[in-house]
Amino acid sequence: MNARDHHSIVPFRVTSLLHWAEEILSRRGVEDARCDGEWLLARVLGCGRMELYLFHGREVTPAERRAFEECVCRRARREPLQHILGTVTFGNLELMVDSRALIPRPETEELVGAIKNYYAAAAEFPGSILDLGTGSGAIILALGKLFPEATLTASDLDANALSLARANAKHCSMEKRITFHQSDWFQMLRGTWDHIVSNPPYLNEGELESASPEVRLYEPRRALVAPRGGTGHLEIIIRGAPAFLSPGGLLAVETGITQHDYLIFVAGQVGLRVQERIRDLSGRPRMLLLQKRRSQA
């Protein structure tokens, strides 16, 4: 019996495979190697991550082992865990994710939470919402859940991202509520909205170069980097928003952590009033809520 034959008949169990995955992924610089291995094996075995420990001594079939090894090899190449799993949890939604759009971040969940808190404090809700640069559709779908009576619109310049957003809308049973447009920010849009939200590209070139391999190698650069040191797209959105906001309407944007002072200056130039400057859970300035005055034309 040669080594290959011996390898094929040795029983593989959940615990030994997790140990192997953790060792491989740790050597390749994956921060949460054990956790990532658990997620991958759970997906292969069709169970929940914590359920693995209910049958930790279970033997894994050769087909399951090969599928798991393939997943671990992909992760060792620093392909994002979410791309391998194919889904990500965003709030109370499960969304499909792949290389067509950015993986939704926790900071963007915080943006949705800030919008929710704003309207709860105002004891009102937006009748119409526009999501600029919708990507995977995460923001508009989350807001659609929060505001079931609102009219929803989502736009993106990239047709591939729009196809993913449409698929997620269908997956979340909201495809009939959302109107999708292919547009370079406001260029192809007509009308006004009570609320405009955007998580546009806001990194500069240096920030992208220092990002993790998962971001640099696998996520769409067009959704990450902006001109003018990272503020170029945000400035277009802020300057354009007054013409597309209803009187008293709100613009909510996610930003880079060093950009608030300049963006507030731009907002003042076009008559938008700062409602809130919001820090993320790490204490970094991350979101701006800007309001159009009710008397503003």
Question: If you write DSSP's letter for every residue of 114-163 in order, what string do you get?
Answer: HHHHHHHHHT---SEEEEES-TTSHHHHHHHHH-TTSEEEEEES-HHHHH
pLDDT in tens, 74-112: 999 999 999 999 999 999 999 999 999 999 999 999 999
pLDDT reported for residue 55: 81
Q: Report the distance separating Cα 253 and Cα 245, nearest Å.
A: 14
Residue 48 lies inside a defined structural domain of this protein: yes
Give the pLDDT score at 56.
77
Do 148 and 35 lie in a common domain?
Answer: no
Residue pLDDT, tens place only, 238-280: 999 999 999 999 999 999 999 999 999 999 999 999 999 999 9
Model pLDDT, residue 197: 98
Domain-embedded: residue 26? yes
For residue 158, the one-letter residue type is D
Of 12-21, 34-43, 218-227, 244-253, which range is least confident? 12-21
CA distance 205 to 165: 27
Q: Can you tell me the mean pLDDT for 113-139? A: 97
Residues 142-156 have a mean pLDDT of: 98
Same domain, 166 and 268: yes
Q: What is the mean pLDDT of residues 51-77?
A: 92
Predicted confidence at residue 5, as pLDDT, reads 34
The 10 Å CB-count burial string (b at 16+, else e) for 58-71 is: eebeeebbebbbeb
Same domain flag for 113 and 62: no
63 in the same domain as 171 = no
* The predicted structure's pLDDT at residue 11: 55
Same domain, 52 and 169: no
Q: Is residue 13 part of a domain?
A: yes
Query: Residue 276: what pLDDT?
Result: 97
Residue 193 pLDDT > 50, yes or no? yes
For residues 59 and 104, membership in a common domain is answered with no
Domain with residue 9: its CATH number is: 1.10.8
pLDDT of residue 1: 28
Chain centre distance of CA 74: 21
| DSSP code of residue 47 | S
Number of domains into which the chain is organized: 2
Across the range 203-232, mean pLDDT stands at 97
Residue 16 falls inside a structural domain: yes
Q: Which of 8-17, 41-50, 98-107, 268-277 is the least confident region?
A: 8-17
Q: What is the mean pLDDT of the chain?
A: 94
> In the prediction, which pLDDT does 297 show?
59
- Same domain for 154 and 273, yes or no, is yes
Whole-number pLDDT of residue 127 = 97
Q: Are residues 116 and 27 in the same domain?
A: no
Q: Are residues 38 and 126 in the same domain?
A: no
β-bridge pairing 12-13 and 59-60: antiparallel
Residue 294: the pLDDT is 86
Distance set, CA 16 to CA 6, 25, 37 (Å): 16, 14, 11
Assess whether 131 and 221 both reside in one domain: yes
Query: What's the CA gap between 83 and 36, in Å, rounded?
Result: 12
Residue after which a domain boundary falls, among 44, 77, 110: 77
Query: Do 135 and 222 share a domain, yes or no?
Result: yes
- Of 54-63, 230-239, 265-274, the range with the lowest mean pLDDT is 54-63
One-character DSSP codes across 183-218: -STTTT--S-EEEEEE----B-HHHHHTS-HHHHHH
- Measuring CA to CA, how many Å separate 186 from each of 21, 76, 154, 193, 238? 46, 40, 11, 12, 11
| Residue 58 pLDDT | 84
In this predicted structure, what is the pLDDT of residue 57? 81
- For residue 246, tell me if it sits in a domain: yes
The answer to whether residue 118 is domain-embedded is yes
Q: Are 253 and 234 in contact (CB under 8 A)?
A: yes
pLDDT for res 12: 83
pLDDT over 90 at 53, yes or no: no
- The answer to whether position 194 is within a domain reads yes
Give yes or no for residue 6 having a pLDDT over 60.
Answer: no
CATH number for the domain spanning 184: value is 3.40.50.150
Same domain (yes/no): 154, 237: yes
Range of the domain at 287: 98-292
Q: Is residue 297 part of a domain?
A: no
| Average pLDDT, integer, range 172-196 | 98
